[in-house]
Amino acid sequence: MELFLQRPDTNTLTQALDTLFVLARTSLNLKSVQTYVPAYDFLAQAVTLLDFDDVAELASDSEQEVRANFVRCTSANFHNLASLLCQGELYGHAVRFLMQGCDLGERALRMHCRQGPANQEEAWVILAQQLYRRWELLGACYTKVGDRKVRCV
C-alpha cells in the first residue's frame, strides 16, 4: 500500500490550526512551568501542518496567499503567548516563542510580497509595521536573561 502526502484543503487546515491555537492558548498557565513546552508544541504542530515547501511551487496564487495568511496567524499566536510570558516576567521562556514568531512573521511577509504589492490588507500592513517590535522584544528578553550574544542566522 502506497502512502501519499496530501495537502489538506483550506477548510480542514483552518479548523486544524484554530484547534491548535486554542489548545496552545488554553494549555499555557504562567504559574506552571510544565505547561510551557506543551503550549509551544501545539504551535510547532501548526508550523508542521503549514510546511509544504515541496508542493508550494505547484499551488495557485490564491492558494499561496491563503497559506501566507495561515503563516501570519501562526506567527501572531507565537507572539501572543510570548507576550503573556513577558508580562509574567518569564523572559527566558518567552525567547523560544518570540524566535518562532519573528521568523514566521518574516516568512509570511515574504510569501505575501511574492503575490505583489497590490494586496495591502490592514493585517499585512500592521505586520509589516510592527515586526520590528517583535525583534526588539526578543532582544529585550535576551538582555533580561543576560544573553547578549549575537544570534547567527
Domain boundaries of the chain, sorted by first residue: 10-145
Which long-range contacts does 117-124 make (Cβ < 8 Å, 24+ apart)?
A: 119/65, 123/69, 123/72, 124/72
Report pTM.
0.84
Q: Is 2 helix (H, G, I), strand (E, B) or coil?
A: coil
pLDDT over 80 (residue 150): no
Predicted confidence (pLDDT) per residue in 106-127, tens digit: 999 998 887 665 566 888 888 9
Q: pLDDT averaged over the chain?
A: 85
pLDDT of residue 65: 87
Predicted confidence (pLDDT) per residue in 68-94, tens digit: 999 999 999 999 999 999 999 999 999
